[in-house]
């Protein structure tokens, strides 16, 4: 019983870590895309 509980805990922890990693990855990609867009519009409009 305890072994199964530990396994479930490990599974949930792994899923949680993967979810957090994916969340931070998407946040980083969004920020990079925003920077790229800002740089593009900056060169187009002349603003830096």
Give tens-digit pLDDT for 2-21.
788 899 999 999 999 999 99
Global pTM? 0.55
Q: Which residue has the higher pLDDT, 47 or 17?
A: 17
pLDDT band at 48 (very low <50, low <70, confident <90, very high): low
pLDDT cut 70: percent of the chain above it:
94
Q: What is the pLDDT of residue 2?
A: 76
CB-CB contact of 27 with 21 (8 Å): no
For 14-31, b/e burial (b = at least 16 CB within 10 A) is eeeeeeeeeeeeeeeeee
Reading the block at residue 46, the tokens are 């002349």
């Amino acid at each position: 019983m305890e072994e199964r509980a530990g396994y479930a805990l490990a599974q949930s922890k792994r899923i949680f870590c993967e979810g957090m990693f994916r969340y931070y990855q998407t946040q980083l990609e969004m920020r990079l895309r925003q920077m790229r867009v800002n740089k593009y519009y900056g060169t187009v409009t002349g603003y830096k």
